[in-house]
Amino acid sequence: MIDLEEAQHRSKTNLPSFLPSEGDNGSTRFKPAQKPSPKTSAKSKTGSVCIPLFGGDGFVQRLHRSLMKFKTPALSIFSCKTLSKTTKSLMASTITQTQTQTLQSDPPEDIDDTLCCGQPREERNGEQEIPFAQPDAASFGSGSPSRCLGGQSHIERAWAHWSALGRPKLIVAPMVDNSELPFRMLCRKYGAEAAYTPMLHSRIFTENEKYRSQEFTTCKEDRPLFVQFCANDPDILLEAARRVEPYCDYVDINLGCPQRIARRGNYGAFLMDNLPLVKSLVQKLALNLQVPVSCKIRVFPNLQDTINYARMLEDAGCSLLAVHGRTREEKDQKKVRADWNAIRAVKNSVRIPVLANGNIRHLDDVQNCLEVTGAEGVLSAESLLENPALFAGYQTAELAVGNEESNNGRKLDQADLLVEYLKYCEQYAVPWRMIRAHVHKMLGHWFRLHPHVREDLNAQSRLTFEFLYSLVDQLRELDVRIPLYYKDTHIRRVSTDGLATGT
């Protein structure tokens, strides 16, 4: 059995493979250092067998024989029949020669094609390349408070770290091109206690300096922070993770993206067909990083498969699990409600902290979800895009029922939130495509009343802050105000069925 504690103490933790230098605006600019040359061996000091993921005659047979030697809890959850199916899935998902050449080639000029986004690459709202927003190494701490505490188990360290962060309950979910730094800071102002970055492509992150500077920015106030990567190669994932570990509280592995681009790239939820690879990704980070590794997953159609999956991740070294209560095939959240009961089953089956994702439209749903699932916290995605003040108790008019107040000392609407977001964007530069997407989300109801204003926005090939502020003024002149309704955050309506209020 792989002894995580012994391996963590024996392993030599390398510094992230980049060198900092001061940028023109006081921000820290990162230059890539020499890439580490990972060393592999047939057998470790602890007696565990290191098996190459791909290649070699008789690979599947050797893999099967090697796995059968283990008596670990992570493998005991699979019967011999299940192990055979898993082995076949590994062989079926092995990267072909063409795919390997694609992975090793230079990143495409339009990086968005690799990241589930069909929009063309645009410049950032300022200089073309502005890297990290003033990260102070001292303020970021020296790594995980849960690591290297003598005598503590992996589970104890996972809880120690979560407790040291204050056990946040209200968390901004990872959203491609949408959970960037200015939006995270806006959500934090209105009650979010932690946040995920957008999904980052691990290979491109290690190879492309421009991609790193544009797609990952942070600041000392941006904590607790999960940095999420998609990956299918443990060594590349580790190299990417080492670049960000001084500036985050968890390195997260995306195991839940259900989009077609994830199928083509062999990552996200499509790694559910290749559990040995998933396990190797988690173990690689858990044994080599200072910060804990977390995973965001979807559920299997079969509940027991989901439970086995969660336990395997925990045994591999995962310190926190975020569970989206929909399957890989259930992509439309408006048609399919998340299964909170499945999340509760996972929570009752593992010993690490669990976060729940799905059906969070307003603050009442948060309390309902926590009570039904027993999770430590909740993630919200789409609802926050429309209403970044959701966690502060504000909700949109169509969701306001009961004792909500409007314009009684708490005058706030979505245009106000947009203006605040734009102020953050002026402070922390991001690509204009992200700003455009947020404008459409936050002003969606307003645009339905005055579609000609939306047409003016769409006609702009290059945005400016001056134009966007004038857009808000134009809506004000039309006497348009769709207020957000406020409800006392101490008043909770807990339904008998937690799913009754879900979308």
DSSP 8-state assignment for residue 346? H
DSSP 8-state assignment for residue 46? T
Closest CA to 395 of 462, 473, 486, 283: 486
∠ CA(420), CA(249), CA(265), 5° rounding? Answer: 85
Q: Which residues contact 100 (CB under 8 A, 6 or more apart)?
A: none
Q: Which residues contact 160 (CB under 8 A, 6 or more apart)?
A: 145, 146, 149, 152
Phi, psi of 163 (to 5 degrees): -70, -40
Closest CA to 120 of 130, 132, 108: 108
| Alpha-carbon gap, residue 4 to 20, rounded angstroms | 31
Structure tokens at 26: 């006081």
| Alpha-carbon gap, residue 477 to 480, rounded angstroms | 7
Which contiguous run of DSSP H or E holds residue 486? Answer: strand 485-486
Task: Please count the CA atoms within 13 angstroms of the CA of 302 that sit on its side-chain side.
Answer: 5
- Helix crossing, 432-442 with 414-427: angle to 10°? 170
Amino acid of residue 94: T
Where does residue 124 fall: left (phi above 0), alpha (psi -120 to 50 degrees), or beta otherwise? beta
| Alpha-carbon gap, residue 322 to 168, rounded angstroms | 13
**Cβ neighbours of 47 (radius 10 Å):** 11
Closest CA to 316 of 290, 277, 369: 277
User: Is the distance from CB of 499 to CB of 326 less than 8 angstroms?
Assistant: no
The answer to whether 257 is a known catalytic residue is yes
Closest CA to 253 of 298, 296, 215: 296
| Alpha-carbon gap, residue 299 to 243, rounded angstroms | 30
* Catalytic site residue from 219, 248, 257, 295: 257
Indicate which residues carry an active-site annotation: 257
